[in-house]
Each structure stands twice: as C-alpha cells, then as structure tokens.
Chain A
Amino acid sequence: MHGPIGEVIQFIDLNVYTITFLFLVGFIGGLVSGFIGSGGAFVLTPGMMSLGVPGTVAVASNMCHKFPKALVGAIKRYKYGQVDIKLGLIMGIFAELGVQVGIMIQKRILDTWGQAGSNLYVSLIFVLVLVTVGSFVMRDAMRMRRSRTETDSGMNLAKRLQRIELWPMLELKVANLRISMWFLIPVALATGMLAATIAVGGFIGVPGLMYIIGVTSIVASATELVVAFVMGLGGTLIWAYYGMVDIRLVLIILAGSLFGVQLGAIGTTYVKDYMIKYVMALIMLIVAVSRFLALPKYLNELHLISLSDLMVGIMNKMSFGIMCLALLIGATIILTSLFKARRLERAAGTNIF
C-alpha cells in the first residue's frame, strides 16, 4: 500500500438518463447474478465508461456494488438451504490469493506490451475461457434437458477426485460431499485469477465447483455468491483505500440490483437444475462473441492488422450491444421460467382445492 492517490479524480454529474440506465442495468445484472451466482456485472464497467466515468472509478464502483449484492443474494439463497458457507469461505480466501496473482500477471503484461497488449490479453482470455467452458456447460445442459434427469451427467471427474483421500479432507455438509482441499485450491485460484482479469470469476468458479468438485449447479451458483462476497469485499477495501469509489453510482446500481438479486434467487427455487447451466452457458457464449468483436480494435492498435477507424468503431459498438443482449436474454429466460413455473404451481394448487 502506498497511500491514497493524490491526483484529482473526475466524478461525473448525474442526470435522469444516467440514473435510469444504471438502475436498469443494475436490476438485470442483479437478476442474472442471483440466478447463476455471478456474471451480471460485466456490462457495468464498459457501461459506466460509456457514460464518461473514468476507467478506474468504473471498476472500483462496480466492485463496490458487487459484494453487497452477493451478500444479499447469498443470505437469500442460504434461507433456501442452497449455500455451503464452509466451501464458499475457503474458496473465497484462496480466490483472493488468485486475484493477487492475476493482478501481478496483468501488471507484467501491461509493462511488457502496454495498454493495447493488456486489453488484447484480457479479450483473448475472455474468448478462450468463455468458449471452452461455455460450450462444455451448454452441452451438459442440453444432455440433461434431453434425458430429463435431475442428476448431473458430467460428474465423472468429480466422482473420481472425491474418492482420493488426500489430507486435508473437507466435509461439505450442504454440498453433501467429501473432497480433498488440494482439488479445491486450483479451482479457487483460477476463479480469483479470472476475476482479476475479466471481472467475472464465476464463469470459472461455478463450472469448476460443478465438474471438478461435484457440487450440484444450484448449490454451486449459490456458493459462488459467498466467494464473490469475499473477493468483492477485499477488492473494494483496496479501491476505497485509493479513494476511487463513487458512492453515488454504487447506490444507484445497488438500488436496482438488490431488487434483481432477490428475484433471481427466488427463480432458482422454481427451475430445474439444468436451467441454471443453460442460462449460464448461453450468456457465456454470447459474451464470447461480443469480446471476439472487440479483438480487432486491439490488434489494430498493436499494428498486427489494419482496419479503418469506422470499422473498428462499428465493431466496438456491436461488441457492447451484444454484451447487453446477453444479459437481456439471460434475464428474459429467468423471468419467463419463473412466472411460467409460478403459474403452473398456482394451477396445481387450485386443482388440489
């Protein structure tokens, strides 16, 4: 720690458009986070920057809104018996370490290849991770949907790992499994590293918990909220120490996202297990397309390809638009399945009377 930054930070003036935009994005992001455990906040940083918020303030404010949202979501889902606190806390601590490692890698890349190189690295990681993990999760979700089973099909690796007795063994009561801590640590570190790189650790954390540790998707997505809380609190303390948090933006986003996160958490009690995987995979794959469209801009800046400014501008706008679309599609699926299931439940209730 080198003490607070002395330079003057420009905080934006708020108007009706800014407030409405942040509230709505907060709500939709909260809805998705409450449902799949994370992934609702990635639109906010570029979104805030498009409103004129400086990059660091946007990142800091985004992180500061994420941890209370994760806390509220985790409490809500704990009430439904879906959260494994022990697993979440242990994973959160190691994920925090992963964040520090991720930041060090980022700094080294920034020093070696400059800002454009760093951006290219971030986008490449985005595309690689999201396409690989997203398609795997999507395939599994489709398989579960077709076979109409409640049990996860892609758990062979997890079952094998659970059989290995390697001290220290963790007894996870809510997740209902026993596994060595040595298998949890890499998942947690990868979650933290991804969180430091693309700001959404859950895209590794939740699939890691599902396929490597063997947790069901409902418990994995709920426990990820605890991990997000631990990581978010640590990150926020650092950013706030440097005076980068714009509390007004945070409060506006939270106003919307806490409505969303509650609704998303309620939604998990209505849907089948594969639905969480399905929504998560869909969002991941659409965001991968969005980040793919952002690649030419950085390649252009590094003079690896030559594209006109107009072309780059269009692709950039498309990239942001597709990212918003990913959230919107996710939110629509969640709300539709929630209200559809409620209607069915009510119909079943009236039939009983």
Chain B
Amino acid sequence: MPNKSAACHLSPHKPTPARVNEPSYIMAVTRNGHMSEYVMEYAVTVAQRLGYAILAVHVDTLPLFNRGRRGRLFAAAMQESAALLIAKARHQEVVVEHLGEIGKIGDVVGRLCRSNKRIEFVVIDKGIRQEEVARLAPVPVFSVKNTQQGLFNRPLSHTTNKQGVFAMFTSSKKQYVQQCVIFGILTSALYASVFAYQDIVMTYFSKGGIYAVLPVATVFAVSYFHGNFTSSFWSALGIEAARKSSAQHVAPEKQATNTVKAPRPDTRPRLQINV
C-alpha cells in the first residue's frame, strides 16, 4: 500500500529528476547541405545567452534524388557545415550536437522533439516552410530573416525612416496607379486591334482546326494584361484584401494542433523511496 500512495503524489507534469539535469537544446534545422550563416549565428548567440546547447540537424528530404555523387556531395557539405558551426560555437562556449537525418522535415522535427532531448524551440533555415514544421512540432518554430542577402531583399521603393508608418501605403498606391496605367494601355491596344480588324480576326479565328490556337492564345493574353489591369485598378482604388487574410493563410496550422501526437509516455525506470 505505501507504494500506491507514493505513486499518487507523482504528478505527470512534474519533470523527473533525470530530465532536470539534461541540457536544453535549440534545434537548428536545414534541408540544404550548408546551413545559412545567419541561422548559425542566431542559434549560437541565443544559445550562449540562454545557456542552451545546439542540436544542428541536416535533413535530406530527397533521398531518392540524392544518390551516388549527389549523396556524397550532400554528406561532405553537411560535415563542412557542421564543422563550421562547431567552430563558431566553440568561441562562445556553446555545445553543439550534430545529426544527419532522412525524411520529411515535419516528421523529423516532430520525432526529435519527442525524443529524450529537451528541445526548447526550433530554428528553421531558408527553403523550409514554417507551417510544415509547426504543424508537427510541439515547441515553437522560428524562421530567421536575413537582411543582408543582397539587392533583392532590400526595399527599393522607399526609405522607411523618412516617410514614417504610411510610407508603404503611399508608395504601393503609386505603384498600383502606374501598373494600372501601363496594363490599361496594353489591354486597350489589344482590344482595339481585335475590334478594329474584326472582319479579318473573325475569318481566321473561326476557321477551326489549327487556328483554334488563335482564340485560346488571345484570351490568355487578355487574362494577363486585363487581369493585371483589373487587379491594380481595385488596389489603386484602395479595395484590397482584408488584413486578416494573413490569418486565413495560416488557418490550417491552427487546426493542425489537434493532430499533434500526444507526447510519448516516459517509461524509464525510476526509484521511489518511501520514508
């Protein structure tokens, strides 16, 4: 009987003694051979600040494709990348563990999070969709945005520090008006040419056979020019999608939390002493 009463005192939410002494990890995941520098730096900096270790995971998501030479290159890149991260981490006195995995990103992350390691959160590299991982991970998932990736990632149209919070609004509205004018002219030209020469157009377009390509190509052109014109027309008028549309964007993610598997029961033997 004493054993029974002792067992009742154990709360399932209380960490077991063995668990407490385990280090906490930040999981840095990439599907590329080389992990991005900024992901490494972010993981090392945060790990050092919080006193965590890093679990670097390279996931080969295309095992069938990465065979032979590609497979060897991937493995070599993985080793190189891991060595670089370990070197970076050594300076900050952060422990790094490295794993090479095969499979789907979401499954791998989900499995590792439920393993014996205490993963606090996951940092994903470029090329991985956040919702794909977040769906199966029981811990928070972050993607690190880089602001120094070259010309394409910089805002080109305005400088935010000069124009304040409305900078984006004003500049994009001007852009929409410009697009509206350009595509409006192109659409008008297309329509004008069809209706100005409607006799010739109708003769050839209704010939059938191989001439079937003509009407189909024309409507594709219209859907591009007129489609862009109408889109920028409504945007220029200020009629755009609701701001909550981004919330709808991730709506499936919300549902996915229901499908997350329950944590694996801890079946390790433990000692209980009744005094």
Give the interface of A toward B (CB within 8 A): 3-5, 9, 11, 64-65, 67-69, 71-72, 75-76, 80-82, 173-176, 216, 218, 233, 236-237, 240-248, 250-251, 254-255, 258-259, 261-263, 266, 269-270, 341-342, 345
Contact = CB atoms under 8 A, between A and B. Distances in A.
Contacts of A266: 234, 239-241
Contact of B227 (A72, A176, A246): A72
B31 interface: no
Nearest to B249: A81
B215 A64 contact: yes
B81 to A, nearest CB: 28
Nearest to A80: B245
Contacts of B167: none
Report the 5 A-B pairs with minimum CB-CB distance, sorted nearest first: A4-B208, A243-B208, A176-B252, A240-B212, A68-B223
Interface in B198-249: 198, 201-202, 205-209, 211-216, 218-220, 222-223, 226-227, 229-231, 233-234, 239-245, 248-249
Contact of B239 (A218, A247, A263): A263
28 contacts: A64-B215, A65-B219, A81-B249, A173-B132, A173-B252, A176-B253, A176-B255, A240-B214, A241-B208, A241-B212, A243-B205, A243-B209, A243-B211, A245-B205, A246-B206, A247-B201, A248-B195, A248-B201, A251-B191, A254-B219, A258-B230, A263-B234, A263-B239, A269-B241, A270-B242, A341-B242, A345-B242, A345-B243
B239 A68 contact: no
B194 interface: yes
Contacts of B231: 76, 262
Contact of B248 (A173, A246, A269, A342): A269
A309 B226 CA distance: 44
B144 interface: no
B256 interface: yes
Contacts of B181: none
B221 to A, nearest CB: 9
A245 B215 contact: yes
Contacts of A259: 230, 233-234
Contacts of A270: 241-242
Of B214, B234, B239, B242, most A-chain CB atoms within 10 Å: B242
Contacts of B240: 266
Interface residues of B, number: 46
Q: Is the interface of A mostly helix, strand, loop or mixed?
A: helix
A218 B247 CA distance: 13
Interface of B: 132, 135, 191, 194-195, 198, 201-202, 205-209, 211-216, 218-220, 222-223, 226-227, 229-231, 233-234, 239-245, 248-253, 255-256
A77 to B, nearest CB: 10
A250 B248 CA distance: 34
A174 B214 CA distance: 35
Contacts of A176: 135, 252-253, 255-256
Contacts of B211: 240, 243
Contacts of A258: 222-223, 226-227, 229-230
Contacts of B230: 72, 258-259, 261-262
A254 B214 CA distance: 16
Nearest to B132: A173
A302 B246 CA distance: 55
A263 B235 CA distance: 10
Given A4-B209, A80-B249, A250 B215 contact: yes
Contacts of B216: 64, 233, 236-237, 240
Given A259-B230, A269-B241, A248 B194 contact: yes
Nearest to B243: A345
A81 B222 contact: no
B197 to A, nearest CB: 11
Given A251-B191, A266-B234, A240 B248 contact: no
A5 B230 CA distance: 36
B28 to A, nearest CB: 24
A75 B243 contact: no
A67 B244 CA distance: 29
Nearest to A73: B227
Contact of B215 (A11, A174, A240, A255): A240
A242 B205 CA distance: 10
Contacts of A81: 245, 248-250
Contact of B219 (A4, A68, A342): A68
Contacts of A5: 208
Contacts of A242: 208
Contacts of B132: 173
Contacts of B255: 176
A65 B244 CA distance: 31
A71 B233 CA distance: 18
A247 B202 contact: yes
Contacts of B213: 240
Contacts of A71: 223, 227
B248 A80 contact: yes
A295 to B, nearest CB: 34
A175 B219 CA distance: 30
Contacts of A240: 208, 211-216
